[in-house]
Chains A and B, each alone.
Chain A
Amino acid sequence: MVLLFSGSIFAQDRLRSIPDPDPEYQLSTLYPAEGFEVNLYASEPMVEKPIQMNWDEKGRLWVVGSSEYPQPKPGAEPTGKIFVLEDRDGDGRADTSILFADGLRVPTAVLPGDGGVYVANSTEILHLKDTDGDGKADESRVVLSGFGTGDTHHLIHTFRWGPGGSFYFNQSIYIYSHVETPHGVRRLEGGGVWRYRTATQELDVYVRGLVNPWGLQFNKYGQSFLTDGAGTEGINYGFQGATFMTAPGARRILQGLNPGQPKHSGLDIITSRHMPQDWRGTLVTNDFRANRINRFTLEKLGSGYTSRQEPDLLYSNNVAFRPVDILEGPDGAIYVADWYNPIIQHGEVDFRDPRRDQKHGRIWRITRKNSPLVEVPHLPGASNRELLDFLSLPEAWTRDQARRLLKERGRVEVKEDLDAWIAGLSPENSDYDRLILEGFWVYQSLDIANQEVLEKLLNSSDPFIRAAAIRGLYFQYNLYPEANDYLSRGLRDEDAVVRLESVIALRKSKDPGSASLATIVLEQEMDTYLDFALWQTIRELESKWYPRFQENQNYFQGNKRKAFALKSITSPAAVTALVDMYRVGQFPEEYESDLFDNVSRYGAPSALSDLFRLMIEDQDKRVGLLKTLIRTMEQRGVKPDIDLSPIVTLFNDPEKEIAQLAVTAAGLWGMESYRHQFIEWARSKDNDISETGITALANLGDSESLNALLEFSDQPYSDERRVKTIIKLIPLDAKMATSQATTLLASPGDEENISQLLSAFFANQNGLWELVQTLENTDVSDQSAKIGMKLINSMSARRRESEEIKSLMAVFGKVPIEEEKATMPQQLSAWDADRLELDVKAYGDPFKGEIFYRKLGCAACHAIGGAGGKLGTDLSSLGANAPTDYIISSILDPGREIKDGYELNQIIKKNGNVVMGYFVRETDSEVVLRDVAGQEVAVPKFQISSHDNVPGSLMPPGLTSGLTREEFVDLIGFLSKIGEPGDFRVPAYSYVRYWEALRADDSVVERIDKDGEQIVVEEQESFSWVPIYSKVSGGLPLEEIPGEMKALKFAVEVAASGQVMFAFDPQWVEHLWVDDERYIPGENGLDINLDVGIREIIVFLKSDAEKGDFKVEVQEGNQRNGRAHPLHTPVY
């Protein structure tokens, strides 16, 4: 009771910064782009917490929402609602709002169609109808059920009609759905897009993956794009089978088009004549975290796109403005559903926190000044012919509604008119092909094949139209008996986008020759999407082509095609076939790393034997093959099944690397007869050689080898070697390792050594247990105790609560330790926390805070604007998104506040080793985690004893204990501002954000004086480069770079060759090198022609550039035809 009381006071106290919910006030906080204005279309009580909206053919806006979101109260009657808004007098404000349905369970999507509306009702899709015309639903039918419920903001959502009449909808990462349909059970575990045909009740998964894909839209060619409310890759280009991050079990994924971009909800494509001409075809989407609306321009590149962020359509400094859905309206204006809530999180803020807004909600309307609105065509009651004519209009609303109405009228009523309309179109019309495509989609909606129309499209001069025709073939494959002939042509099309669709459509083919046909695309230029799609097609068709291939080794005509196919599948026999090709020199070199990868994952012993022989014979291939054989043994415990003794000839190879690899392999293969040689190695003075020997002995792992290892874990060997040996011993014999460790731990030694040793014990269950048993009865040096405590203090609170760690704390705690007192208290009482939060608001200086952020090295793990470590969450819109109390508590107690996608996993291997990390992916054979160093670690499943999700975070507590309270307040001041408009919002410009600065000490300056500056370019590796990130604003503070001479390296990735500009602000660049060429910049920067690929740039700054922020912007677009973006991570 007391707790409850103090808690509520605490919460009330924080309500002071909640904005005024008055819509007029809110309007004053919305800032549309120049030339645009915004007005209120509707607000509560005409709508309630809008989550999704869709238009109907009458121009009415259907809006769904729920005051119960995110968590209904127990036993409460559901209160989710659907409102129908209508602007009857055309003044841009809704004047009627009809409550169409009530009592829905946290509904998250609504879509008019088939005489009613489809509604996402948590675990099911309902079709609601008003049969008596009173404006209220009186009939309800369950269309599909069995969708997951595990997370309210991930429930099925984003209902959309596709151009061919299919019903698309999305779900997100924590939703695991198992839907029974007449065609079988359909499962989607995790994020993705579903596709449903209402007439045939067919349900399939269209796209897999993404964290929280709230946003799906089709362009005028029927291509689809997605946004992600929790991912960081901006616009995602989706197509049948496209697979993105987080898709469970995915071997391979595609990237989004804007890595490092904010997270988005909702998506629409501008089509209306009301909008500026050059905005048409651009994408608008909501960065709901940072209270703004982004716009992106797409540009075709190969079979896909590049995407560029444009200036915002609208931003707000009102934290409660939460644009979650966005649609172009019938009048050409842009409508934005504003969920209106200062709090958006599910996990981080208590479900019952009073700051969660449960009642407000707005629909805003953005118009262009001095531009006429679109005259809204009258669709209801229009004849078929009229509806078909509407398909020539540019606005998507008109075309989508007209197509849907035609579909609903049905085949019998529409076909004749459609045939006549198509026949009547004039080929002279500049829009002829596109109109034919619109007609084709109507046929598709009605499940009618029309070969003539299809062929017209396939002969279009516009590659997007040809691609759309092929996509239609995919969806209606069975209706076109000659499909494969068309696809065979499409695969040879001059345009990659057509080839992409053709490769995908072949998955429908039952012809055993299809896989071979698909590989024809390899004869022209490939790109990421094509490579992915072909790989997927080959895999999906495996059961059809593989038996054929076994009969006829020439099934794939040509080595490249054959190698691609074989490397795409996972059977050991395919690996054997690849190895056969490799042996006889028929294997394409470009696929070599894929071959090695497949061998280590799936290769049979016989294939490994072949590679072993080749390794012995062929000196050039030796290193790669040895590494592959070693990896295979490590990952799967599989080795060649022939006499391996020839390996011994390599022990004395003049190349040290080969000799080391050979010894390592022999150890892994358990070749005990060489034990004496390994012992000799272990005794070597050369530390590398010695370590190889010790590792080999440990890999042998038999009792004699263990005894041998005892030698190296004791004097007279150096502490370093002893520690390395003991670390190897822990998983083999924890007891023995512990007894060897006691003397080291009892005496003072090198801090790094002790730290490594203790960490190794902590990372192994058995080791930890033994250590606890032993240390309770033996002495520990003060230094060891201190290091031990330090390691324990950096563990998560939950780990520290384990019995073993508690015992160790008791042991280490016996030693009097001079505690470093935290200057910033790391545990706060409720009152302290509240006080702190107020101080942040009152005094937090974000400019100073950013400096502390940089000093503490936060960027090593966290990215802002895509630049920074990948281990932690991207903080680009943290401040706009998260309440201050949440930010404070997630720094002081990182394990308490976890973001989607940062689920800590613990794997305990059979040998007791523990791997902790964030989950990346899981396949049949391995689990991949991202470890504390930010590296992906693949753990073979056969080595796993247990794999659990564990509470907690990899972020160690206590990071800020060295700050003063004032500094901490500034730091939080900074973090709570990131993403808000102003200096702490990542700008849309393409700034360089990751740099490497030359460490220019005296010797370096001397060397440059002597050899000239080009030595830095030519012998980059011989210099020391320090990674450094830009500030949020994009500027690099030069004062953080030591030394008088300033040289900076960065890299850009050029996606399309051509002209780009490096703009310098200020122009501090003396000269610069692009790859190996030297350039003198002009007044604003350097205009330069770049070729596709990664280009490295080194800039030398003028000597007077010492202090202040330096920015480099990579400019493209307009008259510049090159396409490039800066890389935010190291090139290598």
Chain B
Amino acid sequence: MLFQWGVSLNRWCGNRMKYTILSVGILVVQLMVQGQLEAQPSVHHVTNMEPAGSGRIVFVGNSLVEEAGKYGILEWMLQNAWPEKPLTFRNLGWSGDTVEGRARSYISQPPNPYELLLQQIDTLKPDLVIVGYGNIEAYEGREGLEKFDIQLQKLIADIDSLGAQVILISTLPQYPSLDLEIDLTERNQLLELYAHKIREVAGRLQVPFIDIFPAFRANARTLYEANGIHLNAKGYYKMGLTLLEALDVPAPKWHTEIDVREGKIVGASGLYIENQEMTRSHVRFHMTSKIFPVFGEGENLNPQQLVVRGLKKGTYALLVNGQHILAASAADFASGVIIRQGPTFDMARIVQNMYSEIHDLYFWEYRPLNRTYLVGFRKYEQGQNSYELGLQSLFIERIEHKINQIYSMEPQIFEIVRINR
């Protein structure tokens, strides 16, 4: 189906192309989409996705969603998919939550848990709500399916009435933890059953659905925390790739090949190379790219490989913006070197940290300490201080402003210099 999040007919690539053609244009290299993942056809494959409105994306769901906020990975990957559009993200995930807002329970009502869920979404005025439920509901077994169906529909309708688009995410398999003797056969059958149910509801209501279940079905040990229920950074990166694939966004792969003999630079889609100067012992070019490193546990999960063929024998240094990045032999360059640092790495690390900082700040706004006294039923005791919760958003907005500043990076100058014969 065609899913439009907004009205623009042009995808980012199109805009970008115009820009590059109109620019100085000594040599514009436009590349074909490379390395697009071979995906099994998803029932509701989303195409022509385009962020619109204010660009506010809200995540809601159980711990699958909540834990994602720690890493800033999904936010970063989504932002990089639409680099022209500044997006803002808020995570409303809640451990143990269900489509009824079960975990948003509290000693006093109103609001009841579900009302709170909707209030929390509404407060954020989202354009898009990414909904990840079902893992908790699956404990209810087959008998719980019908109730889940009804309540999920209700949630979708209610979010729709708030004027936001919905994307549904499937359940996540549970992974057998190393030390625990838990038979997960039935649990995972049920989780899959609930994933199918979400797909079915999505189909009925014509809502985009992203099935992450298959990506975690097998060989996923390295993607989970020790408890087998929470994803780790690699897991969220994998989830991010699955999301992008389903949203029909090219996999963010940074790969550049240079043949100095032929004077050709070939980069992956999304890398723009201009102002190139090249000899067999010296290469220099400007690179503009929105394919960034993605950090998890301090490690870049989206490796950057640079291949330079045809250099004269010797040792070469790679400089980016004059900063020394690595040194390798011509042979090493010919078989490809992995770039592990540089300005984009610094930037990515900072921005991801900022996303997780936003998540933390917002956590204490929507699940505040002393909720009872600030906004709850004893608010007449400390309600005078509840304005402080709103101040969290000032801090968040300041961070978002910084992200936007950092994000509009100038093209980088890559230089390969022979330092030894």
- Tell me, yes or no, whether A binds B: yes
A residues with a Cβ closer than 8 A to B are 70-75, 106, 122-123, 145-146, 149-152, 155, 173-174, 176, 178-185, 187, 189-190, 199-201, 248, 346-348, 350-352, 895-898, 903, 947-951
Verify B381–A896 contact, CB threshold 8 A: yes
Given A70-B370, A146-B95, A150-B371, 8 new contacts (CB under 8 A): A72-B364, A75-B394, A150-B106, A152-B369, A178-B96, A178-B102, A346-B370, A351-B373
Shortest A898–chain B CB gap in Å is 6
Verify B227–A201 contact, CB threshold 8 A: yes
How far does the alpha carbon of A123 sit from the alpha carbon of B69 in the complex, in Å?
A: 15
For chain B residues 361-406, which have a beta carbon within 8 Å of chain A? 361, 363-364, 367-374, 376-382, 384-385, 388-389, 391-392, 394-395
Shortest B276–chain A CB gap in Å is 45
Shortest A993–chain B CB gap in Å is 31
Given A351-B385, A947-B109, A346 contacting B373 (CB threshold 8 A): yes
Q: Which B residues are CB-close (under 8 A) to A179?
A: 95-96
Q: Which B residues are CB-close (under 8 A) to A350?
A: 382, 384-385
Verify B96–A146 contact, CB threshold 8 A: yes
Task: Of the listed stretches B176-184, B206-214, B249-257, B300-308, name the one at the interface; the rest are far from the partner chain.
Answer: B176-184
How far does the alpha carbon of A122 sit from the alpha carbon of B230 in the complex, in Å?
A: 19
Verify A182–B63 contact, CB threshold 8 A: no
Q: Which A residues are CB-close (under 8 A) to B110?
A: 948-949
The 9 lowest CB-CB distance pairs between A and B, nearest first, are A178-B96, A146-B95, A74-B391, A75-B395, A178-B103, A949-B108, A347-B381, A949-B377, A150-B371
> How many positions in chain B have a CB within 8 Å of any CB in the partner chain?
52
Verify A182–B95 contact, CB threshold 8 A: no
How far does the alpha carbon of A183 sit from the alpha carbon of B176 in the complex, in Å?
A: 11
Given A149-B371, A346-B373, A951-B377, A71 contacting B385 (CB threshold 8 A): yes
Given A75-B392, A182-B180, A152 contacting B370 (CB threshold 8 A): yes
Q: List 18 A-B contacts (CB under 8 A).
A: A70-B369, A146-B95, A174-B106, A174-B372, A176-B105, A178-B102, A178-B103, A179-B95, A181-B229, A182-B182, A185-B136, A346-B381, A895-B380, A896-B381, A897-B381, A903-B377, A949-B109, A951-B378
How far does the alpha carbon of A697 sit from the alpha carbon of B227 in the complex, in Å?
A: 65
Q: Which A residues are CB-close (under 8 A) to B177?
A: 182, 201
Give the one of A150, A348, A895 with max B CB within 10 A: A150
Shortest A245–chain B CB gap in Å is 14
How far does the alpha carbon of A903 sit from the alpha carbon of B373 in the complex, in Å?
A: 12
Verify A174–B107 contact, CB threshold 8 A: yes
Q: Which A residues are CB-close (under 8 A) to B94?
A: 146, 178
Q: Which B residues are CB-close (under 8 A) to A199?
A: 179
How far does the alpha carbon of A348 sit from the alpha carbon of B385 in the complex, in Å?
A: 13
For chain B residues 95-143, which have a beta carbon within 8 Å of chain A? 95-97, 102-103, 105-110, 135-136, 139
Verify A182–B382 contact, CB threshold 8 A: no
How far does the alpha carbon of A350 sit from the alpha carbon of B384 in the complex, in Å?
A: 8
B174 at the interface (CB under 8 A from A): yes
Shortest B327–chain A CB gap in Å is 31
How far does the alpha carbon of A350 sit from the alpha carbon of B373 in the complex, in Å?
A: 10
Q: Which B residues are CB-close (under 8 A) to A152?
A: 369-370
Q: Which A residues are CB-close (under 8 A) to B228?
A: 182
Q: Which B residues are CB-close (under 8 A) to A185?
A: 96, 136, 139
How far does the alpha carbon of A462 sit from the alpha carbon of B263 in the complex, in Å?
A: 92
Given A174-B372, A947-B109, A180 contacting B381 (CB threshold 8 A): no
Q: Which A residues are CB-close (under 8 A) to B103?
A: 146, 176, 178, 187
Verify A180–B63 contact, CB threshold 8 A: yes
Q: Which A residues are CB-close (under 8 A) to B363?
A: 123
Verify A149–B136 contact, CB threshold 8 A: no
Q: Which B residues are CB-close (under 8 A) to A70?
A: 369-370
Shortest B392–chain A CB gap in Å is 5
Beta-carbon nearest neighbor of A75 in chain B: B395
Shortest A1103–chain B CB gap in Å is 53
Verify B380–A896 contact, CB threshold 8 A: yes
Shortest A42–chain B CB gap in Å is 27
Verify A75–B382 contact, CB threshold 8 A: no
Binary CB contact string for chain B from 141 to 167 against chain A (1 if under 8 A, 0 otherwise): 000000000000000000000000000
From B174, B370, B374, B384, contact of A182 by CB (8 A): B174
B269 at the interface (CB under 8 A from A): no
B171 at the interface (CB under 8 A from A): no
How far does the alpha carbon of A184 sit from the alpha carbon of B391 in the complex, in Å?
A: 36
Beta-carbon nearest neighbor of B388 in chain A: A74
Beta-carbon nearest neighbor of B391 in chain A: A74
How far does the alpha carbon of A155 sit from the alpha carbon of B364 in the complex, in Å?
A: 14
Beta-carbon nearest neighbor of B179 in chain A: A199
Verify B394–A151 contact, CB threshold 8 A: no
B62 at the interface (CB under 8 A from A): yes
Verify A72–B373 contact, CB threshold 8 A: no
Verify B388–A347 contact, CB threshold 8 A: no
Shortest B338–chain A CB gap in Å is 27
Beta-carbon nearest neighbor of B175 in chain A: A182
Q: Which B residues are CB-close (under 8 A) to A903?
A: 107-108, 377-378
How far does the alpha carbon of A72 sit from the alpha carbon of B62 in the complex, in Å?
A: 26
How far does the alpha carbon of A176 sit from the alpha carbon of B95 in the complex, in Å?
A: 11
Shortest A172–chain B CB gap in Å is 11
Q: Which B residues are CB-close (under 8 A) to A145?
A: 63, 95
Shortest B233–chain A CB gap in Å is 13
Verify A180–B109 contact, CB threshold 8 A: no
Q: Which B residues are CB-close (under 8 A) to A173?
A: 107
Beta-carbon nearest neighbor of A347 in chain B: B381
How far does the alpha carbon of A145 sit from the alpha carbon of B97 in the complex, in Å?
A: 13
Verify B377–A149 contact, CB threshold 8 A: no
Verify B180–A190 contact, CB threshold 8 A: no
How far does the alpha carbon of A569 sit from the alpha carbon of B177 in the complex, in Å?
A: 38
Verify A180–B96 contact, CB threshold 8 A: yes
Give the one of B182, B370, B385 with max A CB within 10 A: B370
Binary CB contact string for chain B from 334 to 377 against chain A (1 if under 8 A, 0 otherwise): 00000000000000000000000000010110011111111011
Beta-carbon nearest neighbor of A199 in chain B: B179
Shortest A522–chain B CB gap in Å is 35
Verify A71–B369 contact, CB threshold 8 A: yes
Given A145-B95, A150-B376, A151-B371, A183 contacting B394 (CB threshold 8 A): no
Verify A75–B107 contact, CB threshold 8 A: no
Verify B381–A898 contact, CB threshold 8 A: yes
How far does the alpha carbon of A802 sit from the alpha carbon of B373 in the complex, in Å?
A: 23
From B96, B371, B379, contact of A187 by CB (8 A): B96
Verify B174–A351 contact, CB threshold 8 A: no
How far does the alpha carbon of A96 sit from the alpha carbon of B174 in the complex, in Å?
A: 46
How far does the alpha carbon of A938 sit from the alpha carbon of B380 in the complex, in Å?
A: 28
Verify B369–A178 contact, CB threshold 8 A: no
Verify B378–A180 contact, CB threshold 8 A: no
Beta-carbon nearest neighbor of A902 in chain B: B378
Verify B367–A123 contact, CB threshold 8 A: yes
Given A150-B106, A176-B106, A74 contacting B389 (CB threshold 8 A): yes
